[in-house]
Amino acid sequence: MTMEEDNLPPCFGELEKVFPLQTNGLRQTPESCFYHCPVKTRCLKQAMATKHGARVEEELIDRSEQAGIMNFFERWSRKKQVHRRIHAKAKKED
């Protein structure tokens, strides 16, 4: 473990703490992270790189299709990319 890793906050990379689901059904970074955390970008990237983060990405893709921002084929393609990334990461961890 490097010195930098020792200084990470305990919530680092925890999706439900750094990008929680709000009562309106959308996810939002809390103000305490957004304005005061020096590692917020790395932390959110780490959280989104997990299987739970992939599910959040799929939620965003579905919402985009429902809003008419993307069509069926684009949605299918993006979801396939997410699934490939999940499976590639799972193989690396094995």
- Judge if 61 and 91 occupy the same domain: yes
For position 93, what pLDDT does the model report?
Answer: 67
pLDDT (tens digit per residue) in 18-71: 999 999 988 999 999 988 999 999 999 999 988 889 889 988 888 888 888 888
- Judge if 64 and 88 occupy the same domain: yes
- Judge if 84 and 57 occupy the same domain: yes
Task: Give the pair of three-digit tokens for residue 80.
Answer: 């396939």
Supply the range of the domain harboring residue 43: 9-49
- Judge if 45 and 55 occupy the same domain: no
Contacts 24+ apart (CB under 8 A), 53-57: 53/15, 54/82, 54/83, 54/85, 54/86, 56/15, 56/19, 56/27, 57/82
pTM of structure: 0.69
Q: Is 17 contained in some domain?
A: yes
